[in-house]
Amino acid sequence: MNVVLAELTEELARIVGNDNLIRNPSELLLYECDGLTFHRRPPHLVVFVETAQQVSEVVRAANRHQIPFLPRGAGTGLSGGAVPIQGGIIIEVARMQKIWQIDLENEFAVVEPGVVNLALSEKLESYGYHFAPDPSSQMTSTLGGNVAENAGGPHCLKYGVTTNHVLAVEVVLPDGTITQLGSPYRDTGYDLAGLFTGSEGTLGIATKLWLRIVRKPQAVRTFLAAFHSVVVAGEAVTQIIASGIVPAALEMMDHLTIKAVEESVNAAGYPIEAAAVLLVELDGLSAELDNLGPRAEQILFASGAYLVREAKTEAERKRIWAGRKGSFGAMGRLNANMYLSDTVVPRTRLPEVLEKIYAVADQYRLMITSVFHAGDGNLHPLLLYDEKKPGDLEKVHAAAEAIMRICVDAGGTLTGEHGVGLEKRDYMSWIFSNDDLAVMRKVRDIFNPEGLCNPSKVLPETKVCKCFVVGS
Asked whether residue 437 is assigned to any structural domain, the reply reads no
Judge whether residue 88 has pLDDT over 80.
yes
Identify the CA nearest to 261 among candidates 321, 315, 324.
324
Asked whether residue 440 is assigned to any structural domain, the reply reads no
Q: Which amino acid is at 434?
A: N
Judge whether residue 324 has pLDDT over 80.
yes
Asked whether residue 431 is assigned to any structural domain, the reply reads no
Return the CATH number at 367.
Answer: 3.30.70.2740
pLDDT tens, position by position, 375-414: 999 999 999 999 999 999 999 999 999 999 999 999 999 9
Asked whether residue 162 is assigned to any structural domain, the reply reads yes
What distance, in Å, lies between the first and last C-alpha atoms of the chain?
A: 5
The pTM for the full model equals 0.94
Together in a domain, 226 and 323: yes
Judge whether residue 469 has pLDDT over 60.
no
Return the CATH number at 193.
Answer: 3.30.465.10
Together in a domain, 325 and 401: no
Report the C-alpha gap between 1 and 351 in whole angstroms: 57
Cβ-based neighbour number of residue 436 at 10 Å: 12
Judge whether residue 449 has pLDDT over 90.
yes
Across 421-426, average pLDDT: 96
| Last residue in a domain, options 70, 92, 114 | 92
pLDDT tens, position by position, 7-57: 999 999 999 999 999 999 999 999 999 998 889 999 999 999 999 999 999
Yes or no: say if 124 and 130 are a contact pair by the CB < 8 Å rule.
yes
Yes or no: say if 384 and 254 are a contact pair by the CB < 8 Å rule.
no
Together in a domain, 340 and 323: no
| Last residue in a domain, options 183, 215, 247 | 215
Q: What is the mean pLDDT of the chain?
A: 94
Domain of residue 397 covers 335-409
Judge whether residue 462 has pLDDT over 80.
no
Together in a domain, 35 and 51: yes
pLDDT tens, position by position, 329-346: 899 899 999 999 999 999
Together in a domain, 111 and 68: no
Judge whether residue 467 has pLDDT over 80.
no
- In angstroms, what is the C-alpha Rg of the chain? 23
pLDDT tens, position by position, 175-230: 999 999 999 997 778 999 999 999 999 999 999 999 999 999 999 999 999 999 99
Residue 8 has what pLDDT?
Answer: 96
pLDDT tens, position by position, 348-372: 999 999 999 999 999 999 999 999 9
Together in a domain, 103 and 133: yes
Residue 463 has what pLDDT?
Answer: 53
Asked whether residue 223 is assigned to any structural domain, the reply reads yes
Could you write out the three-class secondary structure of the chain?
CCHHHHHHHHHHHHHHCHHHEECCHHHHHHHCCCCCCCCCCCCCEEEECCCHHHHHHHHHHHHHHCCCEEEECCCCCCCCCCCCCCCCEEEECCCCCCEEEEECCCCEEEECCCCEHHHHHHHHHHHCEECCCCCCCCCCCEHHHHHHHCCCCCCHHHHCCHHHHEEEEEEECCCCCEEEEECCCCCCCCCHHHHHCCCCCCCCEEEEEEEECEECCCEEEEEEEEECCHHHHHHHHHHHHHCCCCCCEEEEEEHHHHHHHHHHCCCCCCCCCCCEEEEEEEEECHHHHHHHHHHHHHHHHHCCCCEEEECCCHHHHHHHHHHHHCHHHHHHHCCCEEEECCEECCHHHHHHHHHHHHHHHHHCCCEEEEEEEHHHCEECEEEEECCCCCCHHHHHHHHHHHHHHHHHHCCCECCCCCCCCCCCHHHHHHCCCHHHHHHHHHHHHHHCCCCCECCCCCCCCCCCCCCCCCCC
Together in a domain, 58 and 103: no
| Number of domains the chain is built from | 4
Across 153-171, average pLDDT: 96
Asked whether residue 252 is assigned to any structural domain, the reply reads yes
Return the CATH number at 88.
Answer: 3.30.43.10
| Last residue in a domain, options 215, 245, 273 | 215
Residue 472 has what pLDDT?
Answer: 35
Judge whether residue 471 has pLDDT over 50.
no
Together in a domain, 301 and 354: no
Together in a domain, 210 and 236: no
Yes or no: say if 296 and 239 are a contact pair by the CB < 8 Å rule.
no
Return the CATH number at 315.
Answer: 3.30.70.2190
Yes or no: say if 170 and 159 are a contact pair by the CB < 8 Å rule.
no
Asked whether residue 439 is assigned to any structural domain, the reply reads no
Together in a domain, 145 and 175: yes
Residue 283 has what pLDDT?
Answer: 97
Asked whether residue 419 is assigned to any structural domain, the reply reads no
Judge whether residue 267 has pLDDT over 80.
no
Together in a domain, 10 and 117: no
Together in a domain, 207 and 113: yes
Q: How confident is the model at residue 468 (pLDDT cuts 50, 70, 90)?
A: low
Identify the CA nearest to 91 among candidates 70, 64, 65, 117.
70
Report the C-alpha gap between 240 and 277 in whole angstroms: 14
Residue 187 has what pLDDT?
Answer: 73
Yes or no: say if 416 and 344 are a contact pair by the CB < 8 Å rule.
yes
Residue 464 has what pLDDT?
Answer: 43
Yes or no: say if 395 and 366 are a contact pair by the CB < 8 Å rule.
yes
Judge whether residue 264 has pLDDT over 90.
no
Yes or no: say if 87 and 468 are a contact pair by the CB < 8 Å rule.
yes
Cβ-based neighbour number of residue 447 at 10 Å: 18
Residue 22 has what pLDDT?
Answer: 98
